[in-house]
Amino acid sequence: MSIATSITVQGSYRIADKALFDGVSLTIPAGQWSCLLGRSGVGKSTILRLILGLETAGQFEGAIAAGDGKPIRGRASYMAQSDLLLPWLSLRENVVLGARLRGERPDLDRADAMIAQVGLTGDHAKKPGALSGGMRQRAALARTLMEDCPIVLLDEPFSALDAGTRADMQDLAARVLKGRTVLLVTHDPAEACRLGHHVNVLSETGIAPWPVPGSAPVRRVDDPGLLHAQAALLSHLRGAA
């Protein structure tokens, strides 16, 4: 893995003649988790797609750059809201898809270990159609974690999981992605305050940082600072909706 780098996003985004967000200035520090929240439809997922250089429905005016001056493309892995598993491949084949697309020999031992870590041992030969929604989400997470990229963009990766499994997968992702530059889009204030070194709230008028607890992530679910921060953030988001 190459050395992690910071990312900056500055600018505005419009669909037709309507601004989705305006005057955004976001810095994603190197080697840490940054979390992005905001009401539905405000453009959180769009920012991920812009960083990746993917097509969007509107027009962005501004600049996106890595702190080391090198291109972001080719150094970032991405987990979308939908699992995007290929239905004709097995779970294991989906997990090693990135290596196959690059013409590399997949590390099947590492893939099996990752499948075990997300709790899907014994399911590696199953096709996506035989998996539940939560199992598919965990398979997609395993595929993302298999990629040895210094930049990782996650779009609500734990949203389909039950509470216990969600906490387990948060712990796993934080451990495996330690030292990476991570941007996590989430609707969950508790998740953001538990995982984030930095938390930002996106609105139509820009982006604002939100104070995080004093303890280091991953924070205990019963951490008093975490409980206070997530309650305050939830109240803010409800007032902005």
- Return averaged pLDDT per consecutive 10 residues of the chain, 241 residues in all: 87 88 92 94 92 90 94 90 91 92 90 92 92 90 90 91 88 91 95 96 89 93 92 88 53
- In this structure, the answer to whether residues 154 and 67 fall within a common structural domain is yes
Pairing of strands 198-203, 206-210: antiparallel
**C-alpha dist (Å) from residue 156 to 111, 121, 179, 191, 215:** 22, 23, 20, 10, 23
- pLDDT score recorded for residue 1: 56
- pLDDT score recorded for residue 51: 95
CATH number at residue 207: 3.40.50.300
- In this structure, the answer to whether residues 90 and 63 fall within a common structural domain is no
Q: Given phi > 0 = left and psi -120 to 50 = alpha, else beta, which region is 87?
A: alpha
In a domain, 107, yes or no: yes
- In this structure, the answer to whether residues 141 and 154 fall within a common structural domain is no
- In this structure, the answer to whether residues 51 and 132 fall within a common structural domain is no
- In this structure, the answer to whether residues 154 and 140 fall within a common structural domain is no
- In this structure, the answer to whether residues 93 and 55 fall within a common structural domain is no
- In this structure, the answer to whether residues 129 and 203 fall within a common structural domain is no
- In this structure, the answer to whether residues 69 and 154 fall within a common structural domain is yes
- In this structure, the answer to whether residues 107 and 128 fall within a common structural domain is yes
Directed axis angle between helix 163-176 and helix 133-146, to 10°? 10
Cis amide leading into 212 (omega within 30) = no
- pLDDT score recorded for residue 241: 53
Q: What is this structure's pTM?
A: 0.92
- pLDDT score recorded for residue 82: 85
Tell me how far apart the alpha carbons of residues 137 and 17 are, in angstroms, rounded to a whole number.
36
